[in-house]
Structure 1
Amino acid sequence: MNFPYGYPYVSPYDSNFDSFGTLRLTQTEEPQTFVEPLNLGEVKTYLKLDDTFTDDDTQLAVLISAAREQAEILQNRDLVRKQWDVSYDYWPAYRIGLRAPCVSVDLVQYTDLAGNVTTMNVTADYFVDLKKEPAVVTPPWNRSWPAFTPAPSSAILVRFTSGYAANDPFWSGSGARIKMGMLMLIGSWYENRLPFTPGARADAELPFAVTSCLSFGQLWRTK
């Protein structure tokens, strides 16, 4: 199914994204692992825990990952390097938005009703703009997406890599504030085993400072 130029832009951040496609981590033989923005030593220093105290190391590692995931929700971007698969039943738009910060588009392919898989070639069959946030994939200039009779479901696959590397300059800039928010959130979780202070208001679940730090620089949703 083809759509003309100017068809509404669709992004994974849009509230209607689920009606167009499905986003999931690429399934690999060895599950993807992530280099977290914070390490155990940094967290222990912030919490004023002695390095020789290791009883809570496993729990702290879980809290580090959970705080990073919470930051990613508020940021609308990936803070660690991941590979994603986004699947569509048909071409959703002239421009396909990807999660930020997109590093590369690794695969674009479509499957027809007979089960034939066509792998598309960058430049010849599609164009990638990594300068945008989120990055976009489009047909080449003056062309449309190829017409085909799609498989009943998930006929189109776009595989891409996004996220910041551990040594990215982002972490010494605005990312430092996100790390601070993560440390504050980890501290709150570690010191308070309940998600709220007994007797507190429902809207006082998290200190505003945590939300402020973690949402700093977030990408606004495309409407």
Structure 2
Amino acid sequence: MTLKIITGPTTEPVTLDEAKAHCRVDGTDEDELITALIVAARQYCEQRQNRAYLTQTLELTLDRWPSFPVDIPHPPLVSVESIKYYGTNDKEYIWATTEYFVDTDSEPGRVALNYAKTKPTVTLRPANGVKIRYTAGGSDVAQTVKQAMLLLIGHWYINREAVLTGTISKEIEFAVAALLNIDRVWPT
């Protein structure tokens, strides 16, 4: 199983102004660095929580047909754009949407077979035979996530290299973990 970002989010949960205020930075000299830290903090937090915070297009690639229903990683699931599968001759097929049901209410979202339907019988190529392209994320991010991001951004801004200074690094690590574990999606 491989998960790839096709189109990333166009905004970030924490604005540049919020991050600069948290880091107590005036002026624009550090804007490029702080912007990069915002993106890195979001990516770290998304991976830690197994979630997509803001609207983005993802693609789940599987070697073979999964057992149904299949959990779609990085909720919340908004929609499934397409399910494609590839035969042994690398011919691409698009699975008709009438054959499966998209469950956006569950977390994580799922794709299930529709009533009296079966998965296609085409023999799949040996690897990467099924690709599910979908939209995940939303427009609102929990305050706990924003706070975790700000802690990371501030720590990374002050400590540009890996550091270990007594218990400070562990306190930040524990604080971020505590904030992100609140709404974490645990892998099954």
- Regarding TM over 0.5, the answer is yes
Aligned length: 187
Where 2:57 maps in the other structure, the secondary structure is strand
Question: 1:102 corresponds to which letter in structure 2?
Answer: L
- Residue from 127, 152, 160 that aligns with 1:153: 127
Q: Which residue of 1 aligns with 2:30?
A: 56
Shift of 1:32: 4.2
Q: Which residue of 1 aligns with 2:85?
A: 110
Question: 1:176 corresponds to which letter in structure 2?
Answer: Q
Shift of 1:71: 0.9
Q: Which residue of 1 aligns with 2:55?
A: 81
Shift of 1:58: 0.6
Q: Which residue of 2 aligns with 1:40?
A: 16
Q: Which residue of 2 aligns with 1:101?
A: 76
Please, which runs of 5 or more residues in structure 2 have no aligned partner?
A: none
Question: 2:183 corresponds to which letter in structure 1?
Answer: G
Q: Which residue of 2 aligns with 1:195?
A: 162
Q: Which residue of 2 aligns with 1:24?
A: 4
Where 2:127 maps in the other structure, the secondary structure is coil
Distance 1:207 1:109 in 2: 40
Where 1:153 maps in the other structure, the secondary structure is coil
So what's the TM-score if we normalise by structure 1?
A: 0.76
Distance 1:111 1:22 in 2: 16
- Residue from 171, 174, 186 that aligns with 1:208: 174
So what's the TM-score if we normalise by structure 2?
A: 0.89
Shift of 1:154: 1.5
Distance 2:167 2:117 in 1: 56
Shift of 1:183: 0.7
Where 2:47 maps in the other structure, the secondary structure is helix
Cα distance change, pair 201–32 in 1 and its aligned pair in 2 (3 A): closer
User: For each residue in 1:120-157, what CA deviation from the matched residue of structure 2 results, as whole angstroms up to 9, or x when unmatched?
Assistant: 222x1111101111111111123321212112321211
Q: Which residue of 1 aligns with 2:184?
A: 218
Superposition RMSD on alpha carbons, in Å? 2.1
Where 2:99 maps in the other structure, the secondary structure is coil
Contact kept in structure 1, 2:65 and 2:130, CA below 8 Å: yes
Cα distance change, pair 161–127 in 1 and its aligned pair in 2 (3 A): same
Cα distance change, pair 87–190 in 1 and its aligned pair in 2 (3 A): same
Distance 1:180 1:57 in 2: 19
Shift of 1:102: 0.9
Relative to its length, the structure with more helix (as a share) is: 2
Question: 2:182 corresponds to which letter in structure 1?
Answer: F
